[in-house]
Amino acid sequence: DNAKTKTKKRPACVAFDMGATPCFDDAILAKYVFLSHGHIDHVGALFSHARAHAVSCGGEAPTYFVPAQLLPQIEQCRNAMSMIDSFTTTTSGDENKTTGRENLLKMTLVPVNPGDEFPLKGITYGSKTNFFVRAFEVDHAGHTALGYTIGSRTKTAGLKREYQNLDGDAIRELVQSGVRVKAGTVEKVEVAYSGDTCRHGLMKDCLHSPESMNEKLSKSATFLQQAFQAELLICELTFLDSAEDETQRQRSVERGHLHINDLEDIFASHGRLNSNDENETKSILFYHLSGRYGPASRALDYIAAGLPSQIRNSCQVAIKSLLSEKEKAAGHGIQQLLQPNGCVSVEDYLRWKKGNNNAKA
């Protein structure tokens, strides 16, 4: 009933970008939206979202984190939207007028620069964990573009990891000599989002020479490195055919997107291709596939063939928009692999393919 749904706390929901997505409904509840850059496939549904969110969430205005340089343009668009929304024909009939800013679409806009960090108020996990967002600079063919990480900070009563195996006497000794043995808070990078970028935007320490670094940029570089330690990294991947020649790879840089052959260098630069247990539990989700590699199973073949083998089994692919009519049919094998979020795991896909080939043989 109504009273119950009002008091029940909604699960935390955030969104990266608000473009043309078949999953728009899922994003309506997002109270925080992080915009990477101004291309229509990333911002096109911004104002629909603001209105749909307000309608679904008791008039609440969502908060949009936007690249600082785009703030004036976004404000201008909001004003134009509000003007269309409030346009009326006067009863005297001789003059049309808009009532202007009093009907301004409800949205909180927060300008973001690379190296910035903001607390995400109102999102908690238990009583001891809260969350923050950090922004880093990427390289999207000259467009102002950001990537984001969302991290958690948990208050803890326990000891720092390096002291956990010591006995009571040793701990007491350390405390007496002034060493802080308690962890206090533990920080973890939960999820990272690359936005649109070419390889230079994601390679470790690639965007600026050490001489041109300042405090903000070096923070940004640190946040990028943290993105590759995230439990879930949502990473763009546009060009998929590893057999494509150097010209095509050059084109991917000019367009500001990743080529599948860039992944090896990028992940190696962040130490993600060394086999260690910690890396194996972390997931990578690729999105932004170019439609020219469709349909879905063809794109997945390219991806499975081109991924560095060390990360292949940790990878998911957002594939839903590439499904052909045939692949959308209920009986098609790919339907069994498709998760409710529109993604397919590369490991599942390869296992399914192997089963198929064995059946044929």
d(CA 299, CA 203): 24
Cβ-based nearer residue to Zn ion, 39 or 200: 39
Rounded to the nearest angstrom, the gap between the alpha carbon of residue 116 and the centroid of all alpha carbons in its chain is 16
Instruction: Name which of 123 and 319 has its Cβ closer to Zn ion.
Output: 319
Q: Which of residues 173-202 bind Zn ion (CB under 5 A)?
A: 196
Q: Report in angstroms the alpha-carbon separations of 142 from 138, 198, 227.
A: 10, 11, 22
| Residues 5, 227: Cα–Cα separation, whole Å | 36
Minimal distance in Å, beta carbon 260 to Zn ion?
16
Q: Which residues contact 176 (CB under 8 A, 6 or more apart)?
A: none
| Strands, E assignment, the chain | 14-16, 32-34, 63-67, 87-89, 96-98, 108-112, 117-125, 129-137, 146-159, 182-193, 232-236, 283-287, 315-318, 343-345
Nearer residue to Zn ion within complex by CB, 196 or 262: 196
**Phi/psi class of residue 185: alpha, beta or left (left: φ > 0; alpha: ψ in -120 to 50)?**
beta
Cis peptide before 67 (omega within 30 of 0): no
Nearer to Zn ion, 61 or 68 (CB): 68
Min dist CB 114 to Zn ion, Å, is 17
Q: Check residue 41 for interaction with Zn ion (CB under 5 A).
A: yes
Tell me how far, at minimum, the Cβ of 255 lies from Zn ion, in Å: 9
Please identify, among the stretches 6-14, 39-47, 52-60, 326-334, the one whose residues bind Zn ion according to the rule CB under 5 A.
39-47
- Shortest separation between residue 32's beta carbon and Zn ion, angstroms: 20
* Pairing status of strand 146-159 against strand 182-193: antiparallel
Rounded CA-CA distance 84/66 in Å is: 23
Binding to Zn ion (CB under 5 A): which residues in 269-308?
Answer: none
Contacts of 218 (CB under 8 A, 6+ apart): 115
Q: Which stretch binds Zn ion (CB under 5 A): 5-13, 33-41, 180-188, 209-217?
A: 33-41
- Rounded to 10 deg, the angle between the 346-360 and 296-306 helix axes is 110
- Which residue, 139 or 196, is less far from Zn ion as judged by CB? 196
CB of 69 to Zn ion, least distance (A): 15
Nearer to Zn ion among residue 42 and residue 219 (C-beta): 42
Residue 182 to residue 159: CA distance in whole angstroms: 4
Kindly write out the interface string for residues 138-177 of this chain, putting x where it contacts Zn ion by CB under 5 A and - elsewhere: ----------------------------------------
Determine the interface stretch with Zn ion among 3-11, 34-42, 241-249, 331-339 (rule: CB under 5 A). Answer: 34-42
Q: Which residues are within 8 A (CB) of 169 and not within 5 positions of it... i.e. 6 or more apart?
A: none
Residue 18 or 334: the one with the smaller Cβ distance to Zn ion is 18
Nearer to Zn ion, 189 or 207 (CB): 207
Least distance from Zn ion to the Cβ atom of residue 12, Å:
25
Site for Zn ion in 68-127 (CB under 5 A): none
Cβ closer to Zn ion: 81 or 145?
A: 145
Closest distance to Zn ion from the beta carbon of 39 (Å): 4
Q: What is the distance, to the nearest Å, from the Cα of residue 145 to the centroid of all Cα atoms in its chain?
A: 13
Among 39, 200, 312, 353, interactor with Zn ion by CB under 5 A: 39
**Number of residues near Zn ion (by CB under 5 A):** 3
CB of 343 to Zn ion, least distance (A): 18
Q: Which residues pair with 149 in a beta bridge?
A: 134, 192
Shortest Å, Cβ 159 to Zn ion: 45
- Nearest distance from residue 279's CB to Zn ion, in Å? 27
Per CB under 5 A, the segment of 7-15, 23-31, 36-44, 87-95 that binds Zn ion is: 36-44
The amino acid that residue 20 corresponds to is: A
Computed over its alpha carbons, how large is the radius of gyration of the chain?
24
Closer residue to Zn ion, CB minimum distance, 190 or 254 = 254
- Token couple for 336: 């069994």
Site residues (CB under 5 A) for Zn ion? Answer: 39, 41, 196
